Homo-oligomer: A and B are copies of this chain.
């Protein structure tokens, strides 16, 4: 492979490193959505949404299809859902630890 794997991985994670893109993937992993439906659920300008969708398309994480007047997006890699779950688990762990540290410093420490 021309691109080392760790670099491809970094690119991949970079793609996920934007709040709107995370939201999009979360919504799409529930079910397919037309762009205007995503627009209803995410607080973002249409042009900005379009750009973020383009980023996800470039990475082949989602695909789009024109259906009459609207464009419908779907996740093309179902495993993305697992990844988001794994991230949530790790994040909860980290947040929990940070909470402990904070309460150790506070006057109402619990242990």
Spell out A's residues near B (CB within 8 Å). Answer: 1, 4-19, 21-23, 26, 59-61, 76-77, 79-80, 82-84, 86-91, 93-95, 97-98
Contacts of A19 in B (CB 8 A): 4, 6-7, 9-10
B97 with A60: CB separation less than 8 A? yes
Contacts of A26 in B (CB 8 A): 6
- Nearest CB of B to A22, in Å: 5
- Nearest CB of B to A94, in Å: 5
A10 with B5: CB separation less than 8 A? no
Residue in chain B with minimal CB distance to A16: B13
A60 with B98: CB separation less than 8 A? yes
- Nearest CB of B to A74, in Å: 14
